Amino acid sequence: MSYTLGELAEHVSGTVQGDASVIIESVATLQNANNKQISFLTNPSYRKQLADTQAGAVIIHPAEADNSPGNVLISDNPYAAYAKIAALLSPAPEYSAGIDKTAVIAETAEVSNKASIAAHVVIEDDVEIADGVRIGPGCVIQRGVKISANTELVANVTIAHDCIIGANVLIHPGVVIGADGFGQAMDNGRWIKVPQLGAVQIGDDVEIGANTTIDRGAIEDTIIGENVKLDNQIQVAHNVIIGAHTAIAGATAIAGSTKIGKHCRIGGMVGIVGHLEICDNVTVTAKSLVSGSIRKAGVYSAGTPLELNKQWRKNTIRFKQLDDMARRLNLLQKQLSGNNEPGEEK
């Protein structure tokens, strides 16, 4: 599949500087692209590659236009333009409707004749699967689950009972939605299980990365809002609520009953303590620990940056001495001030 640069520019509401008739067949990096491929520049670190690229065209911001040789597609949001063009040039594979002969489907399940059910899928009682849904091999859909139109479960996905999955959702291999949350009560020195009676609700246009787990609610539901994007290997505990258009990077863990607002960005390996609230438009950088509610939009960071081991050892020792140093400094300040009463000569 190929398009002219002019057609691609029209597709993303951009403009062309150079030859709009050049043919583009695929995407590539600035360093490795050929004259039938298109690349993009968003990170200034790669600007030095722009002068030497062999790409047929490059997607750039207007601020880069004067410094760009060759054909360019100018866009106010080059990365989003690249995403749209990459999807156009590399469309997702088409699926044929139908049910593989090895699939096991309960008689009470309602599966659209426009859905695609792959090999070794198990669909239990009272499941509802809408038009255009694609269930990949090895998936298990437990009783009472509802999956809306054009959602895809890639492979080996488990959706536990009574969960609700929205439309146009993409769920990658190994995801588990609706497993029991970690609810345990101490009774005379022994742990006893607290029944997890809620479910999980997934909004429209959500993407869930490989091996991510989203626990069902203890009483009420765990809720993932519209257009949320979750990376691989994320843990979402019971009764968490994630607001619309929030993106969370890999290996983040969110403890139970925490509420994350809309349009938030959570970096990789962030830990979020339970029963707190994060307001809208918050960014938390990688490896931070969120131990209290965040009520003001902004960028938040925690953790110790990498440094030479020798210096890290010294700083670790000093960190342990901070409380003693603070006490001594406070005492010194009092001594220097003489603790004089107001009006006394110092």
Report, as residue numbers or ranges, the catalytic residues. Answer: 238
Cα separation, 239 vs 259, in Å, equals 9
Cα separation, 141 vs 79, in Å, equals 36
Instruction: Please give the span between the terminal C-alpha atoms of the chain, in angstroms, as a whole number.
Output: 85
Helix (H, G, I), strand (E, B) or coil at 54: coil
Q: For residues 269 and 287, is the Cβ–Cβ distance under 8 A?
A: yes
Structural element, H or E, at residue 313 = helix 309-320
Cα separation, 143 vs 136, in Å, equals 18
User: C-alpha angle 276/229/196, rounded to 5°?
Assistant: 50
Q: What is the maximal distance between C-alpha atoms in the chain?
A: 96
